[in-house]
Structure 1
Amino acid sequence: MKKFVIFTLPRTGSTLLSKSLNRHPEIFCDDEIFHFSFRDYFSPNQFRFLKLSFLPKKINYVINYPATYIRLPLFLDKYYLNKQDEHFKARGFKLMYYQTFYMPGLIKYLKKNNIKVILLLRENILRNALSDLRARATGIYHNLEDNEEKRSGLSKLKVDIDTLKQKMADIVRQNRQLESIVSNMDYIKLRYEDFGEWDVTINRIADFLHVAQLPVTAGAKKLNPDALKDMIENYSEVETWLKQNNYAEFVA
């Protein structure tokens, strides 16, 4: 059994990748099992936190911290085992960088147990930032079902330049931190942009996880439009700022 995680930031195509890998007959790829949510639409295998809904989330983090540290190793030991009648050759889940902040001992466990890492980054930090800002503004992060048509009617996003600047700087900083964490681990680095060569990318992952190279169809649909003009209400203002601040490469 090859154990792995998809280690990434939000809005990098991780849902597409995790759902797609889960279509491979030899791979079990889960959702965000460490998502600290008061909703249960994530994985049924989700790590269970003590959630006191009348308290702020940060206070809940603190309350859970000691018990999480104790429970985590046994939880993952069990998680990485095939269940009855399962015969997967690779088993893993999606892990967001920020989730490591309230999961004490998680990175240590991954390193100690030689968990393989699929490091997923998005080279176009503008698109990464805009996708995140739009998702937060609308509350819509993904198409809900694989067979659901692309959502229509999403309004254009009016971009605050200062917020965009900070978001892009955060992404650059966090990408560096992600790469630093995995530098001494068994990892493969993928980019969102690599999905343009879908079969090649999936075969790279198959080799990394030591499973058969098999055709795998995409498991999710793109939510945001291709053209920035169709996504940004104040496009001219954003375009001018990008060109004046050495981001002209992202204008298309």
Structure 2
Amino acid sequence: MEKFVVAGIQRTGTTLIRTTLDKHSQCRCFGETFLFKKGRGGKLEGSYRRFINQNKYRRLLAHYLSRKKLVDEYLSSFFDKYQEYEAVGFKVMGTQVKQFPSIISYCQEKNIKVIFVIRENYLRTYLSRLSLQQNRIPHSNKKIAVKKVKVPVRSLIAKLKKIQKESLWPERAFSGNPIIKVTYEDFVSNKTKELERIFNFLSVEPQAEIESDLVKVNPNNLQDYVVNYEEVKNRLNGTEFECFFY
């Protein structure tokens, strides 16, 4: 069995790729198993929080006193549960490895494969985050109407530079692991080719007709998406990010 993680940052297509991989009959790809704050993740199959809840007093104590040992125990248990599949993995965000740095050391020790997901258009990532803050709809499996977003122009360049820096964390953190880079843009425009590349990386025979249940929430056309369209366009003109507007 091949063990892997899907690593990236929020609003870059990690869930689209994760849910598509999970449609393969010989591949299981779970969501953010390390959601923990305020009990989040407690009901998710295979999650760290659910693992703790199964032996709450001992494991909750270990979570605070010997977290690395508990994370190692959890991950070994997690992968052992799904031996019938050819590839098993989960999604992990940069914010979670800050809370659980032993995820990195475990993956390094076990030489776990890494699918590094990045959205090259940082503006789209930022707009998606603004839309989530406003509409409170992270994902949907049906067509919905969302409100346009207004972009704070004064801080826009700083926000894009921050996203650019954040996006590269998997490449740095997993530099010694087998890693494949998948861009959201390539995955959407040529899904069949990208899936074949990913499944070959995971040593799994590709399957045809694999589709995520997710439907794109935000519009492709920026004029249908951004309230202050011209203002944003003018702000990006002449900068390294102007190409993201077209």
Q: TM-score range by the shorter chain?
A: 0.7 to 0.9
Deviation at 1:65, TM superposition (A): 4.5
Secondary structure, aligned partner of 1:171: helix
Say whether the 8 Å CA contact 1:121–1:175 is kept in structure 2. yes
Aligned mates of 1:101, 1:34 — CA distance in 2: 11
Aligned mates of 2:64, 2:160 — CA distance in 1: 30
| Residue 95 (1) aligns with residue 96 (2) | no
- Name the amino acid aligned to 1:13: G
Equivalence map 1:197-212=2 (5 Å): 197-212=190-205
TM-score (norm 2): 0.88
Equivalence map 1:1-252=2 (5 Å): 1-38=1-38, 39-40=40-41, 43-48=44-49, 64-83=63-82, 87-143=84-140, 146=141, 149-152=142-145, 154-195=146-187, 196-215=189-208, 216-252=210-246
- Name the amino acid aligned to 2:240: N
Between 18-27 and 134-143, report the one with greater CA deviation. 134-143
Secondary structure, aligned partner of 2:156: helix
Q: Kindly indicate which of the two structures has a greater share of residues assigned to helix.
A: 2
Secondary structure, aligned partner of 1:188: strand
Say whether the 8 Å CA contact 2:33–2:41 is kept in structure 1. no
Between 117-126 and 212-221, report the one with greater CA deviation. 212-221
Q: RMSD of the TM alignment (CA)?
A: 2.1
Deviation at 1:64, TM superposition (A): 4.9
Say whether the 8 Å CA contact 1:16–1:221 is kept in structure 2. no
Number of equivalent positions: 234
Deviation at 1:155, TM superposition (A): 1.2
Gaps of 5+ in 2: 54-61
- Name the amino acid aligned to 1:130: L
Aligned mates of 1:240, 1:197 — CA distance in 2: 31
- Percent of aligned positions with the same letter in both sequences? 32
Aligned mates of 1:16, 1:72 — CA distance in 2: 26
- Name the amino acid aligned to 2:152: D
State the Cα deviation string for residues 188-227 of structure 1 (Å, max 9, x = none). 0110011110000000111001111111123311111001
Displaced runs of 4+ in structure 1, greater than 3 A?
Answer: 37-42, 63-67
Say whether the 8 Å CA contact 1:65–1:102 is kept in structure 2. no
Say whether the 8 Å CA contact 2:35–2:49 is kept in structure 1. no
- Name the amino acid aligned to 1:72: V
Aligned mates of 2:36, 2:222 — CA distance in 1: 32
Secondary structure, aligned partner of 2:49: coil
Say whether the 8 Å CA contact 1:23–1:219 is kept in structure 2. no
